[in-house]
Amino acid sequence: MNNNETTDLLRVRDLKLHFRVKSGAVQAVDGVNFDLPKNQATVILGESGCGKSSLAKAILRLLPKNVDHYSGEVFLNNQDIMKLSDEQFRKDIRWQRIAMVPQAALNSLNPVMRVGDQVAEPILLDGKLTKKEAMELALEKFDQVGVPADFLYRYAFELSGGMRQRVAIAMSLITEPEMVLLDEPTSALDVLTQANIMNLLKRFKAEKKASFILITHDIATSSELADNVAVMYAGQVVEVSDAHNFFTEPLHPYSKALMDSVPRLYGEMQPDFISGQPPSLLKPPTGCRFADRCPARFERCSDEPPVFNMSDGRKVKCWLHESDSVSAESNPDTWEEMYAKS
């Protein structure tokens, strides 16, 4: 693939984020590749502990103190934002071009600030607008996300869960960023509120040409917004696919198991569960990381599979698809080599 010419808004290449803990390095994000085309939504699916939220942190460079290893390339409109200094990144990228809606809206809103002030804060930081202009803009965003105007002067605890989530979305949209990272935006909400928020995001995508990365473990909800799906397992992306193919016939055995575990409202399918547990990210298995839980495991699985490109543009990291793939991407570095380098 040519890295210089693309219409993709965001391209993530070999992104790694490891945390240092007492007993070693947690390889939370380990060589992740995926793309986000303009005005589309890419869903990152996976169980808890597979590195989804760490991936969001890695993209936005919101790093905790115990980072052990942080590398890779993140192209935003063909510019490698990993090369920017922390100060430049804070000024130009974070919240200006990539905004985020964090997981629990109650915990992410400041309890001692009125929500209107919080929403206006990101545009006040660069000092180009007066407070009054910023509040007008905040009001406009409140209107767009369906929060009544007098809520500007309320505190977070006075709002219901759905309203808080709307405020968090308004806050992410206020700088008119090129893309928004949504980390489990609806997991703590009731079904009707959930559907309302998804409607809102769909409308922003259709009318404002917004681009989203949606991080979630809720497959049914993710299908409300998805154009593309990337499935994560144990710190790695194991399948990248368009939404239609993924929701009808996923390729990777883990994706299949995930789809089978969804209880359905209609139809005869009985849901099944994935036995076993994800591997420890302190010492991930050397071969395929899903092999221990995989029903289709065979001898090849003790070697790490490369990413196979399928003829319909899907990518899957599984030996089962070696024969029907059109090409394979080179095997990522082994751990030993990587540590020798660093």
Partner 1 sequence: MLKVDDLHVWYELKRFGLGHAGYVRAVDGVSFELNAGEAMACVGESGCGKSSLMKTILRLNKPTKGTIDFKGINVGELDGLDLRDYRSKVGFIQQDPFGALAPFMTIQQILEEPLIINGFTNAAERQSKIETIMEEVKLTPVEEILPKFPHMLSGGQQQRVVIARAMILEPDLLVADEPVSMLDASVRVEILKLLRNLQEKHNLAVIYITHDLSTVRYFSEYIFVMYAGQIVEFAPIKSLLENPTHPYTQALLEASGDPDAKNALEYKEIPPGEPPSLVNPPSGCRFHPRCKFAIKGKCDVDMPKPMPVVDGSNMAITGNKHVAACWLVEEEWKERAGLTN
Whole-number Å distance between alpha carbons of 239 and 228: 10
Whole-number Å distance between alpha carbons of 314 and 311: 7
Nearer to partner 1, 15 or 232 (CB): 232
Phi, psi of 57 (to 5 degrees): -60, -40
| Cα–Cα distance list, 335 to 27, 107, 115, 332 (Å) | 11, 37, 46, 9
Nearer to partner 1, 83 or 264 (CB): 264
Nearer to partner 1, 70 or 247 (CB): 247
Nearer to partner 1, 17 or 243 (CB): 243
Residue 101 CB, shortest distance to partner 1, in Å, is 18
Nearer to partner 1, 269 or 326 (CB): 269
Whole-number Å distance between alpha carbons of 60 and 76: 11
Nearer to partner 1, 217 or 297 (CB): 217
CB 235 within 8 A of CB 281: yes
Task: Tally DSSP H helices, then E strands, for the chain.
Answer: 11, 13
Residue 162 CB, shortest distance to partner 1, in Å, is 7
- Beta strands per DSSP E along the chain: 8-21, 24-37, 41-45, 67-76, 79-80, 98-101, 179-183, 211-216, 228-233, 236-242, 308-309, 315-316, 327-328
Here the tokens at position 179 are 């893309």
| Cα–Cα distance list, 74 to 102, 109, 271 (Å) | 20, 28, 37
Residue 259 CB, shortest distance to partner 1, in Å, is 7
Nearer to partner 1, 71 or 245 (CB): 245
* Residue 59 CB contacts under 8 Å (≥ 6 apart), including other chains: 10, 12, 15, 74, 98, 181, 213
Residue 17 CB, shortest distance to partner 1, in Å, is 21
Here the tokens at position 88 are 């430049």
Edge-to-edge strands, sheet with 67-76: 24-37, 8-21, 67-76, 79-80
Which residues in this chain contact partner 1 in the complex, by CB under 8 A?
A: 41, 47-48, 160-162, 190-196, 198-199, 202-203, 217-220, 222-227, 243-244, 246-248, 257-259, 261-267, 270-275, 277
Residue 262 CB, shortest distance to partner 1, in Å, is 6
Q: Give DSSP secondary structure letters for 1-36.
A: --SS---EEEEEEEEEEEEEETTEEEEEEEEEEEEE
Whole-number Å distance between alpha carbons of 218 and 237: 17
Residue 240 CB, shortest distance to partner 1, in Å, is 15
Residue 84 CB, shortest distance to partner 1, in Å, is 33
Residue 42 CB, shortest distance to partner 1, in Å, is 12
Nearer to partner 1, 50 or 81 (CB): 50
Here the tokens at position 101 are 């809606």
Nearer to partner 1, 112 or 265 (CB): 265
Residue 330 CB, shortest distance to partner 1, in Å, is 31
